[in-house]
Structure 1
Amino acid sequence: MAVNVAAWSDPVRQPEPGRLRTWHLVCPSESLRPGQVMGFSLGGRELVLFRGQGGTVFALSAHCAHMGTHLAGGTVVGDCLRCPLHHWRFDGSGACRAVPRQPEVTGRPGQRPFPVVERHGAILVFNGPVVLFPPPAVGDAELRWRTGPAVTVRCDWLPVIANSFDIEHLRTVHRRELWDAPTVERPDPFTFRLRYTSRVTGTGPSDRLMKALSGNRIGVTITLHGGTLLSVESDLGRTRSALVAGLHKTPEGMSVRLAFAARRSHVPGMDGVSLAVSRWLFTAFLRRDLSVLHGMRFNAAGAAEDPVLRQLLDFTASLPEDRDDERG
């Protein structure tokens, strides 16, 4: 697939990750309990999340339609969010349901709602009025998930994305070699997938454990979902593990939050051990990237020399962003 390398060499013309019409990982599910409210920003758009007393999570535009008060200071009443200034109440669809001393609220302005799902131990919000594709389904029901703290990498969005699909980097930094040629899939306009089978050439503690668990044959599937969610599924033969990384741009760089998974065990107490091992292996693998990516200025012309990265750039350039007139 062809890519306009000249366009991607200009950082001003790169897609803004916070404006992508896609699913964004906001926070771990466990961090938002019934009755809690939190604010969140996506590319300059202010949102609020709240979990109703019934347990469902909702996302609304952050500033009250009445006089603009930020609703992060509001109160959850049942499955509605009450504005802290004049106590207007809005349900999860954004409709105004109550105004003090006003028995009739028909025609009152409401809040803009955003689609929300809980998946892989995290809360995902779609940045747009209409869901363009379903949230990613990684692994199967036998996997148990745990979401870790966010880590900030001092670079832009594309270096983090490209790093995950860079086969030469896999060899030089992660000490892996491929058994056969990798394959690239684009099953729909919002999904970019790379599959390969690797062997371990490193000799560190995590390398030795990975070699022992896998018989030195590791099937890997890396998928970019809409530009902001990255999943990695590893088949080690005797066991499987998975990871989902949510990317969020901050003033300091790219915030990366990881959700780890491991196969459920039938042995009491072993689920926690399996998750700890999965987290250690993935963290050891990813830690090698951090010092390399800090301060990186992405050179698209150099990246486009790699056939996989060339297709990745073509994919990211095609992702839809929300328009300024949709950002109310």
Structure 2
Amino acid sequence: MGRNLEKRQHLFNGYPRGWFVLAFSEELDVGDIKKITCFGQTLVLYRGEDRIVRAMDAYCPHLGGGLVKGKVIGNSIECPFHAWRFGPDGKCNHIPYASSIPPKAVINTWLIQEVNHIIYLWHDPAGGEPDFEIPLLPESEDEHWTTWEYAQLEIETHPHELVENVVDIGHFSPVHRTQVEKFENEFKGHMAIQRNEGVAYPLGGGIDNYSIEATYYGPGFQISKWNGFMEARLINANTMIDTNKMILRFGVMLKKGNDLRQTVAFQKGYIENLSKGFQEDVDIWLEKKFVEKPILCDGDGPLMRLRKWYSQFFVPREETKQLPFDGKVLETDVLQPAG
């Protein structure tokens, strides 16, 4: 595992830049505090009285009290150890037994956006501002669509394994029993797109003639528009815990049918099938090794181009110009010899 990890980090060193999902909105009510471990650090996520979600480092700079055991006061968070209170800007704004507040009593804060009833964190190892936006899903505010049904898995692997599914046409049949009839990829700046049509055979039974457009927006999350037996919107999102472990969160919204109870029941079955489908991938990932220079055949997707696209988020922004990958994939992009 150690040697395998070293090879992978030669291409994807450290932690990436992008938007990453920390929770679905309904997981955090007003006054709630949630402990988050991501990118080798520990944070707290909390929702203030104004209903805005905020994130900051998890430990009080006074004597290290864990803020996850504290409480939300207004829009501030109070340490359980000595009741030092920190506002949305991370600055201490109240010490119950002090006449003045030390200027250095500040906790590092993180940029949070809540979009589509999902809570996202911006991560950039260099401390830069966001360079792309989270897309809006109108369906998330449409009464004709269900709310999110979701689940998560903690997986001991690097998220590139998940992201490479964008181009890996060859695994759909042996791993997921899906007959792919049309498949293409396109890369546009921070987006990696898969268009896919075929016949799926869900683990729960049945046949689904489908078409899907699945788009990664940066390295951290993919939104898919699925048309099949039912119309669905899907999200899968990876957030690195450390350099070889991730949380995979995934959710589904469905367009409501005439019978809402039937739609909701189908939605729960859908997320169960997604869980089982991802577990099929996980079973492969945990027993495979990373091949930096794979031997490819003419039926493989544009794996090396996908890796170029993905690697842009692991290098400083000024270096991304050296990684050309934009445009639709041509036949000549697919096959690249090893060595």
Q: Please tell me the TM-score bracket, short chain as reference.
A: 0.7 to 0.9
The answer to whether the aligner puts 1:174 opposite 2:170 as a matched pair is no
- What do the CA deviations read for 1:284-322 (whole angstroms, capped 9, x no partner)? 543432322222212132276644212210111111468
Residue 108 and residue 255 in structure 1: after superposition, are their counterparts in 2 closer, same or farther (change >3 A)?
closer
Match 1:243 to one of 219, 228, 234 = 234
Number of residue equivalences? 304
Partner of 1:257: 249
Give the Cα separation in 1 of the matches to 2:315 and 2:66: 25
- Which residue pairs with 2:133 in the alignment? 134
**CA gap 1:296/1:255 in 2 versus in 1, 3 angstroms:** farther
1:94 has 2:79 as partner: no
Q: Provide the rounded CA distance (Å) in 2 between the counterparts of 1:266 and 1:96.
A: 53
> Equivalents in 1 of 2:280, 2:71: separation in Å?
43
Partners of 2:120 and 2:66 lie apart in 1 by 21
SS in 2 for 1:125: strand
Amino acid at match of 1:196: N
Instruction: Provide, for residues 215-264 of structure 1, a one-character-per-residue CA deviation record: whole Å limited to 9, x for no partner.
Output: x3x2112222321223332112x631122122234578433221122113
Q: CA deviation at 1:71?
A: 1.9
Superposition pairs of residues 113-262 of structure 1, within 5 angstroms: 113-128=109-124, 129=127, 130-138=129-137, 140-141=139-140, 142=142, 143-180=145-182, 182-188=183-189, 190-200=190-200, 202=201, 206=204, 208-210=206-208, 216=209, 218-236=210-228, 239-250=230-241, 253-262=245-254
1:171 Cα offset (Å) = 3.0
User: Which amino acid in 2 is paired with 1:228?
Assistant: G
**CA RMSD of superposed structures (Å):** 3.1
Structure 2 CA distance for partners of 1:49 and 1:98, relative to 1, 3 Å: same
SS in structure 2 of the partner of residue 242 of structure 1: strand
* Structure 1: 4+ residue segments shifted above 6 A: none
- Judging changes above 3 Å, is the alpha-carbon distance between structure 1 residues 321 and 271 closer, same or farther for their aligned structure 2 residues? farther
Query: Unaligned regions of 5+ residues in structure 2, if any?
Result: 318-339
In the alignment, is residue 11 of structure 1 matched against residue 11 of structure 2?
A: no
1:276 aligns with 2:272: no
Q: Deviations over 1:193-214 (max 9, x none)?
A: 11122234x5x6646331xxxx
Structure 1 residue 13: deviation in Å? Answer: 1.6
1:72 to 26, 45, 68: 68
Q: TM-score of the superposition, structure 1-length normalised?
A: 0.79
- Percent of pairs identical after alignment? 18
1:296-307 equivalences under 5 Å are 296-302=288-294, 306-307=300-301
Structure 1 unaligned blocks of 5 or more: 1-7, 211-215, 324-328
Assess if the C-alpha contact under 8 Å between 1:303 and 1:310 holds in 2.
no
**Greater mean alpha carbon deviation, residues 98-107 or residues 20-29:** 98-107
- How many Å separate the matches in 1 of 2:170 and 2:218? 24
In structure 2, give the amino acid aligned to 1:135.
Answer: I
**Per-residue Cα deviation, 1:24-82 (whole angstroms, up to 9, x for no partner):** 22233333222222221222222111111332211012232344433222221111101
Describe the SS at the equivalent of 1:296: coil
CA distance in 2, matches of 1:321, 1:263: 39
Paired with 1:225 and 1:197, the residues of 2 have a C-alpha distance of: 21
Superposition deviation, residue 103 in structure 1: 5.8
Instruction: Tell me if 1:111 matches 2:107.
Output: yes
Structure 2 length as normaliser, TM-score? 0.76
Choose between structure 1 and 2 for higher RCO, CA contacts under 8 A separated by at least 6 residues.
1
